Amino acid sequence: MADEKLKLEDLLGDLTKAVDDSRIDYVAIIGAGVMGQGIAQTISSSGLDVLIVEKNEEHLESAKQAIQKSMEFEISRWAMTQSEMKSILSRIKWTLNLEEVADCDLIIEAVEENFQLKRLIFKKLDEIAKPNTILVSNTSTLSLTKIAEITERKDRIIGMHFHNPVPKVPVVELIRAYETSNHTVEIVKKFASKIGKTSVEVYEYPGFVTTRAIVPLLNEAMYILLEGVATAKDIDTAMKLAYNFKQGPLEMADSMGLDEVLSWMAQLWEQLGEPRYRPCPILRKMVRDKKLGRKTGEGFFKYDSEGRIIS
């Protein structure tokens, strides 16, 4: 009888462990740029605790101010209340210490689209995080399989490609690396649903679905502008009215960040070698001139402090 009781306790212990394995209560985000801020706000809005990790105090303070300013703008539009903002911010913790992610159930890397940087971060996270913690990359073009190679948890590596502005765009791409397990996919699908996102499962391939499909459109609009066929305003007006787009392709590129768009194009051009991904010269020039779109106040259009087009 004692042996049977012991076996039952072991079985219940294993069951509890399995349940805990799929439970996500505390999420870390590495990188507090525009995407990291949006992901943090979205997750916190669903009632989960969030830890944001940045590399230095300057970036951390800048991100804190930016996320609050973004929500204050939503309040001015009656899209959010003061109490909602306070509740969201109360669940977000900020740190410069990467070691603090050890307590998190899921970790989302949201740094710049730099392959070597992401590999270094994943190697460090693999050493720090709990064995059952899922590691996620917000990459839009890079190989999750190659990033996962540097870890000892290849089955628990997955991509979540969010879209800007994260709190408002209802879709997220879930990217399977070569060894991502079905169990990991199911956990992350439930997590995506909990934070209000419709997930689309994608098998790894350069650009996945959304980046691969949108980049040629953005690039072609830039070539139309470069060739003097129409003005930026008229190109966007034509595309919005003809195809019921909320934004024209040039405004869309500005909102994404022209440096990010250039990075996507360069990656796809290098990996696929197809002319439709070759970055338009006007895009390269604008990035060199630090005219990166809405975030710098000027890209294909000029923007006011609230991110509205002024010319």
Q: Which DSSP letter does residue 207 get? A: T
Contact 207, 140 (CB under 8 A): yes
151: number of Cβ within 10 Å: 18
Q: What's at 235, amino acid-wise?
A: I
Q: Which DSSP letter does residue 3 get? A: H
What whole-number distance in Å separates Cα of residue 258 and Cα of residue 279?
11
Tokens of 184: 């990991």
What whole-number distance in Å separates Cα of residue 284 and Cα of residue 137?
26
Tokens of 308: 């509205």
**E strand segments, 22-117:** 26-30, 49-53, 92-95, 106-109
**E strand segments, 83-231:** 92-95, 106-109, 134-137, 157-161, 171-176, 198-203
What whole-number distance in Å separates Cα of residue 299 and Cα of residue 46?
33
What whole-number distance in Å separates Cα of residue 310 and Cα of residue 83?
31
Tokens of 50: 């969030």
pTM of the model: 0.86
Q: What is the pLDDT of residue 6?
A: 47
Please give the domain boundaries of the chain with CATH numbers for all domains.
14-203 (3.40.50.720), 211-296 (1.10.1040.10)
What whole-number distance in Å separates Cα of residue 141 and Cα of residue 58?
28
Query: Would strands 157-161 and 171-176 be described as parallel, antiparallel, or unpaired?
Result: antiparallel
Q: For 55, what's the count of Cα atoms within 13 Å in the CB-facing half-sphere?
A: 8
Q: What is the pLDDT along the chain (311 residues), one digit of tens a residue?
A: 545 554 555 555 544 444 456 789 999 999 999 899 999 999 999 999 999 999 999 999 999 999 999 999 899 989 999 999 999 999 999 999 999 999 999 999 999 888 999 999 999 999 999 999 999 999 888 899 999 999 999 999 999 999 988 999 999 999 999 999 999 999 999 999 999 999 999 999 888 999 999 999 999 999 999 999 999 999 999 999 999 999 999 999 999 999 999 999 999 999 999 999 999 999 999 999 999 999 899 999 999 987 889 97
φ/ψ (deg, to 5) at 70: -60, -45
Nearest 5°: the CA angle 85, 87, 92 is: 95
23: number of Cβ within 10 Å: 12
Q: How many residues does the chain have?
A: 311
